[in-house]
Copies of this chain bind each other. A is one copy, B any other.
Amino acid sequence: MKRIELNESVYARNNGIAQEVRRALDARGIRMYNLLGTPGSGKTTLLEQLLRCDNRRIAVIEGDLFTDEDAQRIRACGVQAVQLNTQGACHLEADAVAQALGQLDLDGIDTIVVDNVGNLVCTAEFSLGEHRRIAVISVTEGNDKPRKYPLIFRTSDIVVLNKMDLLPYTNFDPVRFARDVRQLNPRVEILSCAAVRGEGVQELRKRLTGDRNKEDG
């Protein structure tokens, strides 16, 4: 009972900071995306490909338990990146993102992407102040994931079904997957992708640019 109360206060505190983060971003006309998914679903590869299309006004916050390997990969695309290391914790929280934002030069930036810790459960429970959530799942992970891990699908605006290049070698059924995801979240957009080949990345880029244009209009 004590534990549940504490969890609720952890969520409430996090949500308060997330709201502050979002207000600060709104004041600067910056949109933030929270990229979530299983370890190895291809989030960082997708992001690299996205930055190869268009990196002029984007900055990245990388989340991992340990190492700065992903921030190095992003910087190699010519993009500012701050690496957050949770030192073993399973998700990012809004206070760490607020600190990371303070380390970025936001002049000329209109889009921030947070590449969250690889985790299909805990990351979905914590708002970072993002405007949109993008869940990345790969066809090698099996069809049962929406039914077993509903929260991440329920709270995402876009679901990217990645590693479509491996589809012929699996028993994954994309039609069933889309049906299960839409049952949890009727308004979600589902995009198919083979990030390693750059396939489908333009579609995601158009969504992000569309968001910016809607803001401007």
Contacts and interface: CB of A to CB of B under 8 A. Distances in A.
Given A65-B148, A144-B67, A120 B121 contact: no
A145 B10 CA distance: 28
Contacts of A163: 140
Interface string A102-133: 00000000000000011111100000000000
A88 interface: yes
Contact of A3 (B6, B39, B117, B144): B6
A142 B138 CA distance: 12
Contacts of A147: 66-67, 69
Interface string A151-172: 1000000000001011001110
A90 B151 CA distance: 12
A133 to B, nearest CB: 17
A109 to B, nearest CB: 26
Nearest to A151: B88
B6 A66 contact: no
A142 B40 contact: yes
Contact of A39 (B65, B120, B151): B120
A122 B166 contact: no
29 contacts: A2-B6, A3-B10, A6-B6, A38-B38, A38-B40, A39-B141, A39-B145, A40-B140, A65-B148, A66-B148, A66-B150, A67-B144, A67-B147, A69-B147, A69-B148, A90-B90, A90-B119, A90-B121, A117-B121, A118-B148, A118-B149, A119-B119, A121-B122, A138-B140, A140-B163, A165-B169, A166-B166, A166-B169, A166-B170
